[in-house]
């Protein structure tokens, strides 16, 4: 776990590769932006929101784990903490979107639309920017507070520190869900300013946790191949993580289907265009891929006990599911830009890779100099699970 172990050089190598990919993608995207700034923004938004997923999802899972305890959490805790440290990175990466807000969002440049005018008090550029500032302030505050409180508890192992950790986690989860919901309305839903769905925020929150679980499982299974983690990470860790993944896959499907059925049955002209746009013009292929790949296949595979207890099978599934998370974001967001047609651009693929490579490089950098698993955790386990929660 110190800098001399093979895993450390492994990480250094992956980190260099990540930054290299990020640099190449960055140059390409810069060229793309100069050629067609609007098209760049559209591709970039999808890539950005995709990688905001594991950043904030890490924060959410850490807070959830602080409150519930459970062995599964200790297996991935350090990885999640490294993910959480990427909040400032995501804040910096938000700047292009803020710069391009008028080109990206219809409400920011269309005038004389009575429906948009009626919600102008919310949908206007200064308030949009202010909200973004608040969101990032809250997320940064939460992630640093969680890291500090956890670190303090690790050091002292005192019950008051634990109570504080648990209490702040509860409040933090409330803050995260509220801010992320409104962030999803701002950055995703308002792309089609006439349309609205009250469950949209929940869809985003669930998606973020799902993305994070996928990445964490992949990372943990890689760690499992290396000493000393191979001794510490057990089958039951992966079993629990697999169950959690299954629960969130089902939750995702539940939310997606409920929304579809309610809008399909209501059949209102202000709502159905959203689906009509996404179930035709080539977009239906993505919808089908999501139904089968994002729900049906993982559902069946994760029902089997054997596949959950096998780190390799689970990691392969998680990797595929993470790739499908991109399809979900793409299907959710991109049809807003081309009404009634399907016009992919090379930037649609390069943007998520570029943002992802940078994210990954920073993530790997965050893991360095810190233990990948906390040795105290095995002792903490019981106390965290059993101690009465904070007041």
> Nearest approach, Cβ of 115 to other proteins (angstroms)?
5
The residue from 5, 26, 37, 170 that contacts other proteins (CB under 8 A) is 170
> Nearest approach, Cβ of 389 to other proteins (angstroms)?
7
| 262 makes contact with other proteins (CB under 8 A) | yes
Q: Take residue 295 and report the two structure tokens written for it.
A: 């729900």
Contact 264, 329 (CB under 8 A): no
| 213 makes contact with other proteins (CB under 8 A) | no
Binders in 121-140 for other proteins, by CB under 8 A:
122
Contact 336, 278 (CB under 8 A): no
| 388 makes contact with other proteins (CB under 8 A) | yes
Coil, strand or helix at 144 = helix
Segment interacting with other proteins (CB under 8 A) among 15-23, 97-105, 113-121, 318-326: 113-121
| 382 makes contact with other proteins (CB under 8 A) | yes
Residue 105: CB atoms within 10 Å: 23
> Nearest approach, Cβ of 201 to other proteins (angstroms)?
7
For other proteins, the closer of residues 38 and 258 by Cβ is: 258
Residue of 318, 295, 294, 356 lying closest to 76 (CA atoms): 318
Handedness of CA 22, 28, 34, 39 (dihedral sign): negative
The residue from 197, 316, 374, 376 that contacts other proteins (CB under 8 A) is 197
| 260 makes contact with other proteins (CB under 8 A) | yes
For other proteins, the closer of residues 206 and 350 by Cβ is: 206
What is the per-residue binding string for other proteins in 42-81, x denoting contact by CB under 8 A?
A: ----------------------------------------
> Nearest approach, Cβ of 159 to other proteins (angstroms)?
8
Q: Take residue 36 and report the two structure tokens written for it.
A: 């067609």
Segment interacting with other proteins (CB under 8 A) among 3-11, 43-51, 195-203, 365-373: 195-203
Distance CA 163, CA 169 (A): 10
| 275 makes contact with other proteins (CB under 8 A) | no
Residue 342: CB atoms within 10 Å: 14
Q: Take residue 101 and report the two structure tokens written for it.
A: 């807000």
Distance CA 273, CA 264 (A): 10
> Nearest approach, Cβ of 126 to other proteins (angstroms)?
18
Distance CA 223, CA 14 (A): 13
Query: What DSSP string describes 265-326?
Result: HH--TTTHHHHHHHSSTTHHHHHHHIIIIIIIHHHHHHHSHHHHH-HHHHHHHHHHHHHHHH
Residues contributing to the site for other proteins (CB under 8 A): 115-116, 118-119, 122, 159, 163, 167, 170, 174, 177-178, 181, 185, 196-202, 243, 250, 254-255, 257-268, 270, 303, 305, 308, 382-383, 386-391
């Amino acid at each position: 776990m110190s800098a001399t172990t093979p895993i450390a050089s492994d990480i250094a190598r992956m980190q260099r590769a990540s930054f290299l990919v990020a640099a190449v993608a960055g140059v390409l995207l810069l060229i793309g932006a100069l050629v067609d700034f609007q098209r760049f923004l559209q591709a970039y938004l999808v890539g950005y929101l995709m990688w905001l997923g594991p950043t904030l999802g890490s924060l959410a899972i850490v807070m959830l784990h602080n409150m519930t305890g459970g062995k599964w959490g200790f297996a991935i805790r350090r990885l999640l903490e490294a993910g959480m440290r990427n909040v400032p990175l995501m804040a910096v990466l938000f700047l292009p979107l803020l710069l391009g807000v008028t080109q990206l969002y219809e409400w920011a440049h269309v005038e004389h639309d009575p429906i948009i005018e009626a919600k102008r008090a919310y949908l206007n550029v200064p308030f949009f920017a202010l909200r973004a500032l608040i969101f990032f302030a809250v997320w940064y505050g939460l992630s640093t507070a969680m890291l500090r409180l956890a670190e303090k508890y690790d050091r002292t192992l005192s019950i008051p520190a634990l109570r504080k950790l648990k209490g702040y986690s509860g409040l933090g989860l409330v803050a995260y869900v509220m801010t992320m919901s409104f962030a999803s309305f701002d950055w995703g839903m308002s792309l089609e300013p006439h349309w609205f769905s009250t469950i949209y925020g929940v869809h985003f929150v669930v998606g973020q946790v799902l993305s994070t679980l996928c990445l964490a499982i992949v990372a943990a299974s890689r760690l499992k191949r290396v000493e000393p983690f191979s001794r510490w990470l057990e089958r039951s860790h992966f079993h629990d993580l697999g169950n959690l993944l299954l629960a969130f896959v089902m939750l995702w499907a539940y939310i997606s289907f409920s929304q579809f059925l309610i809008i399909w049955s209501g059949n209102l002209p202000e709502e159905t265009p959203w689906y009509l746009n996404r179930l035709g013009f080539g977009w239906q292929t993505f919808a089908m891929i999501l139904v089968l790949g994002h729900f049906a296949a993982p559902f069946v595979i994760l029902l089997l006990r054997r596949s959950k207890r096998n780190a390799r099978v689970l990691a392969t599934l998680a990797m595929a599911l993470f790739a499908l998370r991109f399809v979900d974001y793409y299907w959710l967001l991109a049809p807003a830009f081309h009404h009634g047609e399907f016009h992919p651009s090379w930037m649609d693929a390069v943007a998520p890779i570029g943002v992802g490579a940078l994210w990954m490089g920073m993530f790997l950098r965050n893991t360095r100099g810190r233990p990948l698993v906390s040795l105290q955790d095995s002792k903490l386990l019981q106390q965290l699970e059993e101690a009465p929660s904070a007041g």
